[in-house]
Structure 1
């Protein structure tokens, strides 16, 4: 449900009586969690309305002259739970000033009394110079509980800092005292839960005092002999300006919520502004803002406000923002750790908050825009791939942390520059991001040469995996290869370059690059380069050389990763020969099982393997097998990807293939168009998967009888395919023959011959993986092209005989369907209908 609909529902529910509200909420078509959140907001709304009424009624009450043994001087303030008076008592001729908290009569229920008793017990335990101490506790003659506290003749910490014109260092020292008091409370297993500037007073001597432990929570089931339970009142009363996200969500409260509260206090101490501007917002809008939006840094907030006399720096910004992270586990692990960073800042030492802060910013950026930001699945992988190690290992030293932060900032800069939505990343595409990323890296003069290569290689690898093969090749071509002295890095550079050009069908160039890679490689790296070289020869149909390599490796002890690669190559070789396709399937499944054991990092590879299996089952007319593999794809997409992701778009393409097998051509067209729409949001038009998708769409449209739509799809596929694949590449063959079948069906036999003549000749003269019947069908189209020549009459008999020979031995359904489709066009050209042996009714 959208935010606007939830707001409409809230506005509808708010004025209803409790029973009517409960009935309407039960009927609402929203999730259980949303219902709970709405109920919580309405409870808060009710309590605030009640508080206003009660406060107004209490304001009509007179100020009591005496509370217990204390003489009341004046009313200091009032709130939802009660009133606070300034009072005094004389002890041995010395006047002692006090603050008396008196609970309102209409709040004297069991829960309030329990909370009040707990507060007094907490304050009795907490003895710290920066915490206002308790003096006495008791009840008035008519049974109203009161609490007598040390009176602080002070100002709110932010007012004190402003009025005294404290410099930055003085403000931080003052804040450190506040943090020290909170850390002391935590050591005594007390969480304050409502830290804000108005709950920190600074006395005339400049000593900060934390006050108001009224909603504090002990971190134990019993405290001071009392059972500690959570009341709705205690849960509800906090200040939105400083409340941690988990407090708004009503989840478990830990000391981390005070870390957030301290961050909010420090933010205001530096900027004189709250973390978020909540003015004019209702409860739903406030919760949405705090849970989802990242605060501006103190420095940027100061710059925007233009207030004189305020300042911060990058380290303090990092400290504050570290405290204000959304998830408790992402903040400082304790207030003591926060104090350590404050001390480091005061001593001029590096602060921990700076280490890896950009990692957090990227994660939040991606998480916040995971539906719109279609590069989300690869951004963080760039750094890990470039570093060649985990984030934790990389951040072990200060130098490495600085390098990580630099890399991360490059990513953020690229994300922002490539974002056409000015910060919302709603329309950001992979091609936009990586184009900007490559430009950013090339222009950054401060980036070390080695780091530049690491990042560019990582980007090229991601581009290759997402189908941006041409862009990946161009990225590699612009790079300066690592020197021979950096043997492993140089080998990886040329291995990646070779794999990329292999995907483009440039086999001679790929072979040269891989030979260069092998010159400086050893061990598993050398073996992986040999695997890539074997794929080069296999793609060229030189199966004997590939098989020799596989046999050589069969007895060797390979690493788990290379063992899986060996299985995939073996399966690919079997799948490339029509008579052994069925044998390849269990080997693919074994390789997938090995990938699954390695965890979530292999999800993308597993998806591609399942996609291959769908295609193989469709080729074998095995509907149950294809449905099983599509089920695996859909489950992985549901578990790991967003609905508008690249993986989801490819899954629709697999579903279209399955619909084609079922001969549900309308569904196949619909799914394929949806797949293409998703792919084009993410990838450039030259991506191989988009080209193949347009070819499939053309096939479905043609068999459905939509010749114009099919012609448009095939035209696009062939135009782009000719640019990215060589004439001998198997993809080039299929793109052109599929288009030629449509042209022949339309009676354009001469155009069909022109379309396929070169690719068919190359396929026939090489040891190709293409099925012999498909090559024969292409050769027939070349011969049928003579029907458009001036001497077509002399060619009719030859075309008729070639047609019948092909029809007699056709075992592939796809070949038979094409022969049936082009039969009417042959008859129209004068070929004898009775002489053509294959009849549409067969």
Structure 2
């Protein structure tokens, strides 16, 4: 990142930058700074970026579990005692809860072995807000749209209980994603320092006064004795920033002090329009041109509207400022939409002018009609005046209603943030730390035995059960009791509970709570209202998670009809469309789902750009369906590309990025890229265990994938132990008949079957899976068909070819129909059917499926010869048994001879694997 224009940082603060830039002048890296190349845990120091009152910030390279550049903030070089470590935990939780596109993400936090706390944050490649706008010559509308997104980021921090206290251009960096500017707010150092002080019951004034004077509110600067800083102080700083974006200067710089207006009790600030008038001759025209306007139009827009917005945000009396950053953002969007501004004094003329701007085309047509009927002009004018007066009254009433509604919504938003902000890993870590502290204090002789017990348990899982039993259950009771007279707010709060229940994998409860919310909203708002659709979507997701796939599909089909009135690119409608595709796949309609997903991913990428979150989600779903259909090469290409895009756009530990990482790891393993797959799987298990706990369904899924890859590289004992643990966890969490529980049984059977002495145990497990899937999903569901073919193959490997042939005679054709002719499992079922017939001595009958397997793998049609070779070798063996040596020799010369001609040390892993497979097949036929 280039940090042009350090003049944005007018005075040192106690915050630490999370951006690139040189170290302070005269700083050669001494004075206790870490040397470049120093290792600190999983991080390597690259360069010192800056130093403040609270410590230092470095550019560092994170080396594991993923490699990325981070901004590493190291607190003052002193060991913290237990009390300060508790404050640091408050600070870590506060920053971790802020997840917003306009706020730099916190990746990690902890303490060095010496006890020095640190944060690892998103490293921003961008320019300060004002520098970016000036260098890119952003017009007025583009600046206001960008600034509104900054306000929304500040509002998110406020909802999480964080006041920034040092908003200035240098702490709001602008980077570009797909060519569009994206703001990132950094440096919450002062905010968190104050939070620690307040948590200790100490005086926080020193932190409140820390900051940058030119952007500081009067109460933060100490000009209003007795007033502590609240969120409106950040609103004041945003007002100064907006002033600078409009006028090109901060308030008062080069101003004529005779042209000022009052902003409260005694403080005067020239409005932006007056500031521009102080510019040298020709510079005012240049400023207007910079904003994409003529000078008269810029003067009119500022004096009539935007001056009022800036000065309201900067009132000395904070009760007269905008109540929140969100209110300031809403005001700017009113301006962009040509709606009346709340800051501008109400008048019928102003309201009429705004109305006419919004309806200029309709008004032009009305004027033409009025000219044609001149005789009625007097009456029309009178009617217009009456209508304007009525509209003015309606606007005032609407503004009052909006204010009251906003107050109630803030109450609900606070409650929702408390629920949505639950940090399971943090709670689990706190529980573990509490246990250590009690043991060390009360029974120090037991301390050596505690760590093994904590390692074998999962404090995060305990936290999950406590939240479900004590917090959520009590929350629902309180909502019923305290919000009975406000069912709209009660519904909002219940929806938050349902979302948390989904995260905690309490699916049955989530279904019921979401249904209650959706039923109320459907009665109050209608079935097509976005709020109703949101709640129904949660209900459908919970239904699917319980295994009721048909029930989820039926509900989503209704939702599609209800959402038909929304725009085609409306996020709610698109989420429902993607849920429909997934539901179709889950009930077995995979071909239809794949074609729909391909079309949607293409459409969204073209319409929204490849970096759009919805476009990436549609692409991820497409990759999953391609893999299930057997299009492994295309699926892997999709996920390789998508993984890098999601890391860049969302960060390496965003849940969407981790999902793509998981899919990519599986495909690498299926492509025999085992070393790379194992590395990804290990990282995923570590991250998800830390985030969610060892027995969260997502973590169990990653542990299962890791076990499969261990099994593929021959570490069967480790794979079996892991699958047994995963199966036990799924039985406890999801139940014995759950889809994922049955899948765990199937994978455990596959591991056991590698041991030739344990086929009866593996076959018994497979029979349990067949019974469960047939009963729950039906005989033609893809998952049922998969296990049937798998069972036939295991019977063949167990030396029971007649039973294998009987199963595969029906299962192999069904697999081609249901799974698709490109699916590896379906093709293998066809080939094993032929080999079972050959092992029974029925060579003539065996030729039909063996030749079919060759054709499906592309034999003699330009396909991958190495892929076809095992089928060709089996077909040649059948031909020799029938005395057709010439045909057999032709196949062997085409496919097998080139492979055998290579020296053993010249064969690659894939070639060696094919020869091992052929040897295994030959040995099985001779048993």
TM class by shorter-chain length? Answer: 0.3 to 0.5
- Bigger radius of gyration, 1 or 2? 1
Q: TM-score, normalised by structure 1?
A: 0.44
